[in-house]
Amino acid sequence: MPTINLSYRAIFSLVLKRDLTIAMRHKDDIINPLLFFVIVVTLFPLGIGPEAQTLSRIAPGIIWVAALLATLLSLDRLFKSDHDDGSLEQMLLSPHPVFILVLAKISAHWLITGLPLIFIAPLLAVLLHLNEQSYGALMLTLLLGTPILSLLGAIGVALTVGIKKGGVLLSLLVLPLYIPVLIFATSAIDTAALGLPYSGQLAIIAALFFGSLTLAPFAVGAALKVSTN
Amino acid sequence: MPVNQTSSLISPLISATNLTCIREERLLFDQLNIEINAGDIVQVEGPNGSGKTSLLRILAGLSQPFEGEVFFNNQLISQSREEFHQNLLYLGHLPGVKDEMSAEENLTFNLALHGTADKAIDTEQIEQILAKVSLTGFEDSLASHLSAGQHRRISLARLYKSTANIWILDEPFTAIDKQGVHALELLFKAHIEQGGCVILTTHQDLLTFKPTQIKKIVLDYTFDESSFDESSFAENTFDNYTEQGR
């Protein structure tokens, strides 16, 4: 029997590096969701009018809903191209545990789509006259919340990857799962605007994050096995 | 424990009992029993849509059979996943090659994913393997600039560095030229002489092997049916083409 080096860290960084390399050579994957995010957010002041009071009231909701939709837009290619060219089969047949491979792919997805959103969000918040006291809360909720979007979204993609036109089904599956994140994130930002502590909401988002970080990769692995059956 | 050793020598490398496969309400094969030993080369034969790919996917553990079980070294493959996958090399219809990466990057990743690459594998060795599948000069070309046959060559290159005993190859010769096919057959020969086994589907004759050497699994369940007529055949093949296109 050949013995094989099954280091989790080695295989995690291998898959992460591969996905980032592919994204770097396919830059529209990075730019499209980001542009979508920027355009959706800038449409609101145009549609609603430039009154600072109204905009600052709805700013947290707009930024978060736009972030949800931008993530949703980018989810499809998480497993789609790997499924279409047979790489996914090979990953499922590798001796490494599937959850490590899946976790690496989701991490790469977050680095490509979630992280750029976090960097650009404060600029868009200025555009929406977000309350000055809320910036910290906005950044923290995005930092803890966007990984949840990638993790939960991956379950939906894994379930729909074998279906030809799974796009609509994907949004029907995934968007309801995003609701708790949206509620607690916007609530935290609103609370911060009043100058009150928002650590409660943040703790719940953190709990959601760690819950999905530990459980989602297993669900994704199981869903992928069903999808390739 | 000498007793165990002798029994493991006799026991088949991969075996399946009572395999039944149903696709789209059609019975592809029923109560199929297979035993494949070290040193076997097995050719799965049958017309289009007879379930060759389904059988290979079931043996590799990618699909679940309607009924029946697959064993590796007398252990259920679901219960010895890690060990089984270390000893399995499966290449399906799709080459598993990323367009955005070069031939060299693809091969390096594929080898590392299956644990075949240790630290000893460096660029030079990768280039040597690529040379064996006639991809010298294409090491740094993105796979999107290469042909279908070259994609397949990248994925087949893994065979040259494989430590797996069980090779399951679905139409490995698709888009490969004559010399390439000959080289692959020689590779299969070396592999079974080293105590491995090869399970493959192909519509070509394996010229390097004596006909008696090749074990055959013939899937023609649909043709045994007395109700078979031409119109149902046309329907069958069409259904399966669309299935593969998915």
d(CA A95, CA A192) in angstroms, rounded, equals 48
Q: What is the pLDDT of residues A33-86, one digit of tens each?
A: 999 999 999 999 999 988 989 999 999 999 999 999 999 999 988 999 899 999
pLDDT score at B229: 42
Kindly state whether residue B24 falls inside one of the protein's structural domains. no
Kindly state whether residue B221 falls inside one of the protein's structural domains. no
pLDDT score at B6: 42
Q: Quick one: closest CA in B to A83, which residue?
A: B96
d(CA B220, CA B45) in angstroms, rounded, equals 8
Percentage of chain A with pLDDT > 70? 97
Q: Cα-flanking dihedrals φ and ψ of residue B166, to 5°?
A: -100, 120
Q: Which of residues 122-151 of B touch A (CB under 8 A)?
A: 142
**Which residue ranges of chain B lie beneath pLDDT 70?**
1-10, 116-121, 221-246
Q: Could you report the predicted ipTM of this complex, rounded to two decimals?
A: 0.86
| Angle in degrees, CA B8, B9, B12, rounded to 5 | 75
Kindly state whether residue B148 falls inside one of the protein's structural domains. yes
CA A57 to chain centre: 25
Residue from the list B62, B109, B163 with its beta carbon closest to the beta carbon of A18: B109
Per the structure, how many domains does chain B have? 1
Task: Pick the more confident residue, A164 or A172.
Answer: A172
pLDDT score at A13: 92
Q: Does A4 touch chain B (CB under 8 A)?
A: yes
pLDDT score at A165: 81
Q: Kindly report the pTM of this predicted structure.
A: 0.88
Kindly state whether residue B112 falls inside one of the protein's structural domains. yes
Q: What is the pLDDT of residues B211-239, one digit of tens each?
A: 888 888 888 765 444 444 443 343 333 33
First to last CA, chain B: 49
Kindly state whether residue B203 falls inside one of the protein's structural domains. no
pLDDT score at B224: 47
Q: Give the side-chain half-sphere CA count within 13 A for B135.
A: 31
pLDDT score at B234: 39
| Angle in degrees, CA A176, A20, B143, rounded to 5 | 115
Kindly state whether residue B144 falls inside one of the protein's structural domains. yes
Kindly state whether residue B219 falls inside one of the protein's structural domains. no
Q: Which of residues 64-123 of B touch A (CB under 8 A)?
A: 64, 82-83, 85-88, 90, 92-101, 105, 109-110, 112-116, 118
Give the model's confidence band at A4: pLDDT under 50 very low, under 70 low, under 90 confident, else very high.
low
Q: What is the pLDDT of residues A89-135, one digit of tens each?
A: 999 999 899 999 999 999 999 999 999 999 999 999 999 999 999 99
Across chain A, mean pLDDT equals: 92
Kindly state whether residue B143 falls inside one of the protein's structural domains. yes
d(CA B134, CA A184) in angstroms, rounded, equals 58
**Domain that residue B128 falls in:** 98-163
Q: Does A42 touch chain B (CB under 8 A)?
A: no
Domain assignments of chain A as residue spans, ordered by start: 8-228
